[in-house]
Structure 1
């Protein structure tokens, strides 16, 4: 009887432990703190601090581990008692009856356990909800108690953020509004761990750590029998093994943490997918400020195409000129490099690789409701033919942007007006309407050439190039470069292709430079007339100006002088109102008593008050930066303590509206205020000790506490191998809400670059996995794909792109196109013959399925691209590949299992 009593008792204990484990896991998942995890403190106000909260979570984790150990011990003990009881009772009927009695007792006890835990959870959940409601009420009371600062008419004065502007016919549900209210930059936890990217980052980090260099950049060209060996020391091998162990441990913890964090956001993500699948609407951000704008897709396309119908700026083309333009630019750059007109560094910067058409999209101007919310065209110009060239020319033209009237930023502006003696003058602001799209491109290019490469005479330019003097040759060459980076830029919108031959597009690297050069030229040319008309001081930032004029000056006369300079450019004016005028993020206030200017923060009416939400799944440094930037601006711009106090209250208001804890905001304000006072009133002459350590940057995914643990372990491990290195970590959060809404035209498959691709044979199971930095079509042609495979999609641009109808020039263009193409790799018949794909087709008579090749991965980081190719080759072992990897896999020599990699056949 005693044995049976102990037997039942241990089984009841066993089931109680299981229920306790479920209770603890629920508390951890919902961030509930049971009574046993409370920490007694002398100061009760410290209970809400992050340290105490983390301490409670650690107690829960410790209790969880203890219960798991106890469960294992109890299970073993119960098994022993079960066997002893069975041996002591030979009759099966009696034994089975005792077991059924045990089950009845356990059932009753388990029910009691469940009721007790449910009651505890209900109390804890009620306490959490009550605490949240009290916090919300306290925030509302704080918001209402903060003094109302009406110097700026914006939305932040209300107790809720109005971040969504619905211009469409679709009515949003409450769930849809809640999913979008934090803006398109908001980040929700993800439930998918990117194993391939993480492994690539670990491999790349370790390769940099041991300074690995491989002699074989092109593994495809080596002999198939040749073995490539990478010798590592025993220490390096041990560190690689430890790094692999750390990485695998992190992957398991991260996947578990992601599963827990993602549970409460499943419905929100489903709502966002539903919105993204609605083809009748466009969801985008506004032209200025943060927020969400919803438009009818038909209206959006109609407004954009109305802009593109302006033939003075845009022209429709019917073929994709990307590849011929890229070839032509490479030939030009090679010639200029050979002639010494550009340096080797400039050549590398300007040389295009894997170019693609630019993509145009529009951002609604919410500050212009009277004009039915027009769209601002913005160009995504990354990886276009002239993108690198634009960056190179930006450096060459930088000296032409300098002007005594240009200001660098708000702080430079403050320094200038504080030293101004024209306090009694009238303040006026002149603004250029749509400067970027209206800047006269040909006029500005002519001015640039006149300043940098003046010609010897006009007649010399008309001579054949071989007979031109050196000055005229340089003039012609630099004009060609400028045109390639500006007027030759083509783009797609709504699956139609255009070229912008006048003005410069927002997003192009040369756009702000061209605009600045034109405005500087305007100022230099007109300043004498403007001074005679009453202008005393003139300051400009891009297209906004801040001007002091005499009281007897005629503002309209000054405006006329500005508007007469060029027919493409139109200025508007704004005169000070109630002794106040805004410029950038500064409001200038005339102080009649002290005969000086006061300054404070200015926020435009388009400012929604939206910051990175406190609930956004990003590192705490992002959230801290949101408050720090506002506090620093306040300390540097506000000129009086009254303005500073008002601005701090405004920062508190904005932070609370974005769910930031008031204590977090006040702590940052206190720290920055102390730093500012120490910087102002004390000067500490301490020598600056420079860190001579070499820096290595490593990207790791942001998974909250798991990420911090990984960072500390990698740092500790690195110190073993190379203590002289400074490891800098970059926490990569998941994709933002913007990833659900892609409004730019997709890039066609054969024009994608920086990819890992997959081609299979039509007649057998053989396949090939490769990578390329260039367009897929170039690499596939080198493998033996027929030249006509993508001819319909990649026809050369028609000569209306050049805006010429001269037959002789058409013939010349034809000859240029028929010249040998210069590409990254040697695109010759010999190379095609060496391709394993070509050899397979010749030996077997089979044909590859060129039209259905797959782009498996895209990555603009070259080494990561090589590792991804190696992972796929290792996992799938394609028969036509000559090698097992592109670069050595040192940390994960066995690669990744297929279940964690994309399936090329799908």
Structure 2
């Protein structure tokens, strides 16, 4: 049992508005608290094996290589390795008495144990309101299939169309290159050979009864993703609008200068499911209508541009529950071209609407699909009908001001007695009020910046509130997110509040070209490393990324990517005749690299069957290709390419060589050549040996450095539980 939680205990408080239990099961106290903190809450590292030190080394090298001076590089390496060794020793030798760390570790164990014993519970992030939602996996599946059974929007298909779309994408890019409409570098960036099928998932709409889902299809792995982004940038640069709102601050400055005519009121209009309701014919019409503007931003002719746009729309597909679907109507949420096409269509809609109105609206602005208008009250039906009659697929709902107040974006627009507009910072009733908790293991400066930015928003967006009313709002939400009273007072009372850049390394010379890099955030270690690098690398700006977060406790509801389709990986292949293994890397799909290994092995076997010996030139040439082939030829051993194991993965291709070298050194027995690790400085030898000794236990079980794990003990669950909101 944990100690009794009081207001003075230095651990996070339970945020009742931040979690919604959509199941009949009671949740342990610690589980409710840790999940209510949100997926971005950073957790402490309890064991050396949890710390992503190989990734840290790879990312440090990315910084060091920006300065070619080897002396400077080695001086920094020595200091950094010393910091890493000291951190490992402290973590290994000491038992923390920090109540926050003990709570996070215990709550994580209890939560993992609870979710393991209840595999029918899914932990998800809500669509709006920044809530954590628990629902049964059966409910989730039912709601997802209900969405996909919409035959007007989706079509079930028999097989994965990735290769077909990838071929079409590359063919279009090749045409652009041959016509000299893009340069070779751009063509290379738009061409892909490692696309994989996008995987749809649903986010619960916690503000609606029955927890319906909003479908989301991340398209980063889709064949047409880069091409869609490229065309989207062309179209976006060609849209000239007076309607769009850049951000809340710009809109606040604008709206506070407006005085409405007598009898005018405020109303907001919202499109119902905009992306999935835009017909392709309407997109084509608006591109043709705006062609005079578009052609000024590209050399691509109209016919080819329309062909590319049509391909990007038609190649919207995804996978769910091992079944494949195509989106046959509208544009896909997650496609980078979709917001631009939607904006283009809505621009045309508003231009048409203006000409049909019997009055000129003093206010007409939009943010994505949310319009704000000032109209005479007796003209509401006229405006609504005109909007809905533009196209039968695009329909609008509206919200009328109430008591002279209308929520819009993160403000409430207040119409005064003399028809002036004033604003107040606003949080919707469905919102959890959750942002970065002060107890999160983020860097201290990052938490301070979050608080300062929040204070700044309340100050700038609340022109209708006096200072005490603003302070009350600031203090309420900062307190809710566990910011200490003394810190709250200091930040709020500083009238010149301004967020400090979150980059840890900065340079006062604005004319100096900056390089941006990121490091894994390891509390008390990464900050020291950044401080070390600041002296010799002033032109590098660093950001910290958190790897061990509460998000690791959330359910993985997307279909898993088959191992063979993963790219940017470090892998190992075991030898069938000895305990050794081969460690390699590939930026392409793993199956492409393994196919090359298979081909070389097959070629070797055919040469042997033909009577060739190890001295023959054909086999000598094969022997020089990889350490795997050298071992096979020298010792007459065979490798089992059907038992490939992924050791690591990194989204930055340039980090792979360093990661590969780290894993070669860290493996107990490898067939890799000594020269395979020559690119890694010998300064890291001591720290890598320390990790090697700790990763290989007496039972020879290898523990991967980069996998975030928590040691799960048979922890006694608390007898009492936090009372969560009732099941929907």
Return the TM-score normalized by structure 1: 0.66
**Which ranges of structure 2 fall in alignment gaps of 5 or more residues?**
499-506, 603-620, 705-728
1:731 is the counterpart of 2:556:
no
Correspondence for 1:624: 448
1:565 is the counterpart of 2:390:
yes
1:576 is the counterpart of 2:414:
no
Equivalent in 593, 598, 602 of residue 784 of structure 1: 598
1:387 is the counterpart of 2:221:
no
Q: Helix, strand or coil: the match of 1:434?
A: coil
1:879 is the counterpart of 2:702:
no
Distance of aligned partners of 1:563 and 1:691 in 2 relative to their CA distance in 1, 3 Å threshold: closer
Correspondence for 1:599: 423
1:767-778 alignment to 2 at 5 Å?
767-778=581-592
Equivalent in 562, 567, 573 of residue 759 of structure 1: 573
**Which ranges of structure 1 fall in alignment gaps of 5 or more residues?**
1-29, 31-124, 141-158, 212-231, 456-470, 677-687, 789-829
Q: Helix, strand or coil: the match of 1:783?
A: helix
Correspondence for 1:661: 484
- Deviation, structure 1 residue 162: 2.2
Distance of aligned partners of 1:711 and 1:836 in 2 relative to their CA distance in 1, 3 Å threshold: closer
- Deviation, structure 1 residue 874: 3.4
1:495 is the counterpart of 2:349:
no
Correspondence for 1:273: 112
1:829-868 alignment to 2 at 5 Å?
848-868=639-659
1:32-51 alignment to 2 at 5 Å?
none
Correspondence for 2:8: 132
Q: Is the 8 A contact 2:257 2:421 kept in 1?
A: no
Distance of aligned partners of 1:507 and 1:259 in 2 relative to their CA distance in 1, 3 Å threshold: farther
Q: Is the 8 A contact 2:598 2:641 kept in 1?
A: no
Correspondence for 2:283: 444
* CA deviation profile, 1:839-858 (whole Å, cap 9, x unmatched): 87789886542222111111
Distance of aligned partners of 1:905 and 1:713 in 2 relative to their CA distance in 1, 3 Å threshold: closer
Correspondence for 1:613: 437
- Deviation, structure 1 residue 547: 0.6
1:735 & 1:344 partners in 2: Cα distance? 40
Correspondence for 2:469: 646
1:712 is the counterpart of 2:535:
no
Correspondence for 1:545: 371
1:785 & 1:310 partners in 2: Cα distance? 45
1:285 & 1:524 partners in 2: Cα distance? 37
- Deviation, structure 1 residue 446: 4.6
1:238-387 alignment to 2 at 5 Å?
238=75, 240-253=77-90, 262-277=101-116, 278-369=118-209, 372-387=210-225
- Deviation, structure 1 residue 333: 1.3
1:714 & 1:253 partners in 2: Cα distance? 22
- Deviation, structure 1 residue 402: 3.0
Correspondence for 1:105: none
Which deviates more, 507-516 or 338-347? 338-347
1:403 is the counterpart of 2:241:
yes
Q: Is the 8 A contact 2:458 2:474 kept in 1?
A: no
* CA deviation profile, 1:85-131 (whole Å, cap 9, x unmatched): xxxxxxxxxxxxxxxxxxxxxxxxxxxxxxxxxxxxxxxx99xx999
Q: Is the 8 A contact 2:260 2:419 kept in 1?
A: no
1:397 & 1:421 partners in 2: Cα distance? 34
Q: Which has the larger radius of gyration?
A: 1
Q: Helix, strand or coil: the match of 2:393?
A: coil
- Deviation, structure 1 residue 373: 2.4
* CA deviation profile, 1:204-237 (whole Å, cap 9, x unmatched): 32222326xxxxxxxxxxxxxxxxxxxx56x655
Distance of aligned partners of 1:474 and 1:653 in 2 relative to their CA distance in 1, 3 Å threshold: same
Which deviates more, 750-759 or 843-852? 843-852
Return the TM-score normalized by structure 2: 0.81
1:431 is the counterpart of 2:270:
yes
2:310 & 2:695 partners in 1: Cα distance? 44
2:127 & 2:426 partners in 1: Cα distance? 18
Q: Helix, strand or coil: the match of 1:486?
A: helix
Provide the aligned length of Structure 1 versus Structure 2.
660
Q: Is the 8 A contact 1:203 1:890 kept in 2?
A: no
Q: Is the 8 A contact 2:126 2:206 kept in 1?
A: yes
Distance of aligned partners of 1:696 and 1:253 in 2 relative to their CA distance in 1, 3 Å threshold: farther
Q: Helix, strand or coil: the match of 2:384?
A: helix
Distance of aligned partners of 1:883 and 1:326 in 2 relative to their CA distance in 1, 3 Å threshold: farther
* CA deviation profile, 1:624-674 (whole Å, cap 9, x unmatched): 2332222111221222453x4323202211222222112212211222x24
Distance of aligned partners of 1:287 and 1:319 in 2 relative to their CA distance in 1, 3 Å threshold: same
Distance of aligned partners of 1:852 and 1:453 in 2 relative to their CA distance in 1, 3 Å threshold: farther
Correspondence for 1:177: 32
Please, what is the CA RMSD of the aligned residues? 3.7
1:419 is the counterpart of 2:257:
yes
Correspondence for 1:43: none
* CA deviation profile, 1:158-195 (whole Å, cap 9, x unmatched): x9642221112322233332332322322221212222
1:407 & 1:589 partners in 2: Cα distance? 18
